Amino acid sequence: RVTGRRIKQQKMEATTLRKRPLSVKTAAGREGRTAAEAELGEPVSPSARLVEDFYIIVLMGASTPLNLPALRAGIEAQLARYPHFRSIQVTDRDGELRWLPTTVNVDNHLIRPTLDPAAVAANPDKAVEDYVASLSTLPMDRSQPLWEFHLFDFPTSEATSTAAIRVHHSLGDGMSLLTLLMACTRSAADPTRLPAMPPLPTRTGAIYQRPRPSAGVLAFLAWVWSFVVLAWHTVVDVVGFFATILFLKDPHTLFKRVNHAETQRKRIVHRRLSLDDVKFVKNAMKCVRASFCFIFLEMLFAIL
């Protein structure tokens, strides 16, 4: 009898628990939602909300004059079909940012800036650089998807025509956006094919070369020891990182800003880098990919 009463009591408690409202907000659990709220897309991720005022600016040059119809057709066929590139950020009734799908008018995203003709004739490189530097301080129109193409149809010292692409950081990081832009391009030899990319290099080092069983016990122990060394260096780097944040200070270098006033304006400056120099830094730093070298060189050449 006691056992039967306990089972019956447990069943009643389980039924009571299932009838309690869930503490997690779900689409099905919200009552009284309007039709507009029901059509809202997924919530904006926490990492995307952290970069609310950050933009990614990419400067691309072409060896041919600007072909606006081809550019518009390519954007409509590739870039504008991705969900976040055809959505805007709105706030729902609960104060949560969400992606709302909308109709994309590509012409609103293709901007032909009006520059001073005298400045362009005197120094076209500086005219483009000054305009691109101002993009980081100008807000974006949030009534449409957060990406823009600023087009310059005049020759510079490096290109016949230039495009400055400004994308809100919530749409992706630098590497993912560069990969997306590469996927939107086509081979010059065959317009139906994607551009050929070089194969990934083979990783070298003791940690990537697992010894064969016939190599012996010492070779296996050396391979295991390489993981221990890697773990030790990782712990040291993490501890040094947090120690630098809390109480240590970075040493002074030529690239470190002396005046740390918050009102000091930052400026984007464009400089040409030789691919041979990038490969030299990659080999000196023993990087697997050249992208890490680009990040390192960006930090070195940043004008703070």
Residue 72, SS3 per DSSP? helix
As given in the structure block, the two tokens for residue 296 are 């390192």
As given in the structure block, the two tokens for residue 5 are 């009463």
What letter does residue 142 receive in the DSSP assignment? T
Expressed in angstroms, the distance from the first to the final Cα of the chain is 79
What letter does residue 22 receive in the DSSP assignment? P
User: With 0-12 CB in 10 A as exposed, 13-18 as middle and 19+ as buried, what is 131?
Assistant: middle
- Mutual angle of helices 290-300 and 275-285, in 10-degree steps: 100
Q: How many CB atoms lie within 10 A of CB 253?
A: 7
As given in the structure block, the two tokens for residue 127 are 């005219």
Report the relative pairing of strands 97-101 and 87-91 from DSSP bridges.
antiparallel
Percent helix, percent strand, percent coil in the chain, to nearest 5:
45, 10, 45
Residues carrying an active site annotation? 169
Distance CA 61, CA 73 (A): 19
Contact 209, 223 (CB under 8 A): yes
As given in the structure block, the two tokens for residue 157 are 């010292």
User: With 0-12 CB in 10 A as exposed, 13-18 as middle and 19+ as buried, what is 13?
Assistant: exposed
CA dihedral 246, 252, 255, 259 (to 10 degrees): 80
